Structure 1
Amino acid sequence: MYDQNLFPLLDGPTSIQAKELERAMRSSTARRDVSPMKAKSIAVVSGKGGVGKSNVALNLALLLGERFKTPTVLLDADINMANLDVLLGLNVRLNLGHVLREELTLKEIILPISERVWLLPGGNGISGLKEVDWGSKSGLLKDLYVLDEKADAIVIDTGAGVNRDVLFFAMASDVIVIVTTPEPTALKDAYGLLKSFLLSYGRDKLSKKDLFFVVNMAQSSLEANAAAERLIKVSDRFLALSPRYLGYLPFDPKVAKAVKERSPVVKSYPKSSMARAMELIVSNLITKCGLEASGDSKELAAFGAFQRLLRKLRGE
C-alpha cells in the first residue's frame, strides 16, 4: 500500500494535491526528452466486467511512466464504479464529479502516484457524460493545456461493457485496447464491443484508430493464442475488422495478492510473471503505435494528446 503521507487528502477547496502535483511535475520535466511515445490517448476497454481491465490500465500507465519514461496521466473514466483509487490504496475525496459540476478544476483533483504518473480519480454515479459541454467548463481547457505540457500520454480506464460512455471515450482516443480472457463469454463480449464500435461510429472513424486487444488471465500461451485466433477470425469474417494482438497476460496469484494489498502488481511484485508479461505488452504497444500523433487529421495532429481528446469529446 502506498504511504498516505505522500498523497495528502483535501479537507477543503485549497489544493494540497496541487502542491504535490507541482513537485512531481518539476521532477519529471528534465526527463521528457527521452519519452518514447509522444501525445497519445489510450482507452482501455472490455466487453464485460471481471476480466481485469482496471488492473491492466493501472499497470500499463505505471510502466509507461516509470519503465518507458513517458510522463502519463491515468484517467479513471469508469463513472459508475471507479476503483483505481482503491487499487492504489488511496482514500480519495475529490474526483471527476467535482470537475463536471464545475466545483473544482482538474489541477485540484489530480494526484501524483509516481514520479511520472498522475491519477485523475473517477466519480461514482455521474450520468449523462456525453451531454457535458466540455469546452464550456470553467478552467478545463486551461487545465488541459497545462497537462499537455507535462504529460505525453493519457491512459483512460473506461467502464466495462457496452454503453454510451465507454464508446464515447474510446472513440475520442487515439488507441483502443480491448481486454478479454480466454473464456468464451468474454470473447463473445469483446466481439460485441467491436460490433458496437462499428455500428455506432462507422467503419471510417474506426479505421483511423489503433485497435488492439490483450488476452488476460490465460493459463498458457497456447490457450491465449487460441483465444486470440478465434477473436481475430470472427472479427475479420463478420465485421471485416482486424484488431491487432498485443499479447497475453498469464493467470498469476500475485495479482490477487497485490489487489488485497492495494498496490499495483508491477510495483509490489516486479519480477512476477504478470509484471514481466505486462512490460512486454507495453513495449509492443509503443512499437506498434509509433511516435506519430493521431491520424484523424493534420489539424488534430498538431495538438497534444489532451487537446485532441477534448476536441474529439466536443465532436470537432
Structure 2
Amino acid sequence: MRLRLDLAYDGTDFHGWAAQPALRTVQGELQAALATVLRAPAPVPVVCAGRTDAGVHARGQVVHTDVPADLPRAPDPDNPDDVARLARRLNGVLPADVRVRGVRVAPPGFDARFGALWRRYAYRVADDPATLDPLARRHVLAWGRPLDLAAMNAAAALLVGRHDFASFCKQREGATTIRTLLTFGWERDAAGHAVGTVVADAFCHSMVRALVGCLLAVGEGRRDPDWAAQILAGRRRDAAVAVVHAHGLTLEEVAYPPDDELAARADQTRAKRREEEL
C-alpha cells in the first residue's frame, strides 16, 4: 500500500534531505525509523515533494512510501485509526528534530514528487536590531542593513512566470532549469521580519536562496530592481548574485490536485520534465 506522510523538521543538523553514506539526512532518519517501526529487513524507501538542501527547514514536507502488506507491523489499510497511529509510532523512534505530523493511505495515483501542483517556501530576514531574537537564530537570517521591501517586490515581479532560471540554479547534468514561478513577494510578519514568499511548480538546486540573494542586493540599495531581470536574461550563474545562508529558508506547503486528477497530474509532470531535458 502507498502511504502519504506529512513531515516537519529543523534542518540545522542535517546534510539535507537526500540519503548519503555516513551523513545524517532527513531521508536517512525517516527510512530507518520506518524499518524499525514496521520491522522491515532494510530501510523503507521514501519519495519527497521537494529535496531540501543542507540546513533548510520544513513545516509542510510531503512524502510517500510503498509499504509491503506482509511486513510484521504494517498498518491495516482498511483501518484509518491504525494507519494514523503510525505517526505516533514513528515519532517515538525519530529524533526530536524530525516530526511526522500525519499518516494516511494515499489515494490512487498519488505521487509526492510528480503529483504536486506547487511548492511554497518562505525566507525570513531580521534586518532591524530590534527584531533580532536569539531564540529564532536557527530559522531567521540576521541582516545588518535595513531592506526596502517595495524595491524588492518590484524586482520580484520581474521574475514571475515561466522562465529558464539557469542564472539562479546550481546546474545538474541532464536536469532542466525551466520553472514556472507563480508568486514571489515580500512583507513584514508580526515579529517585524522581512519574509519572502515564493511559490513555483518546482525548484532547482539552490534556486530560492539565489533569488533571495539577488533581491537582498536590491533591498539594501546596491542594485536597481531591473537588475533582477538582467540576471535572469543572462541564463548563467553570475558571481554578483550571492546564494544566501540555508537556515532562513523553510518549505511551508505543497499543494496537490483533487484525488481524481492525481494520476493525470503525475503523468503530465513526468512528460514535461522529459521534454524539457531533451
The interval holding the TM-score normalised by the smaller chain is under 0.3
Structure that is richer in helix per residue: 1
Instruction: Using structure 1 for the length normalisation, give the TM-score.
Output: 0.23
Instruction: Using structure 2 for the length normalisation, give the TM-score.
Output: 0.25
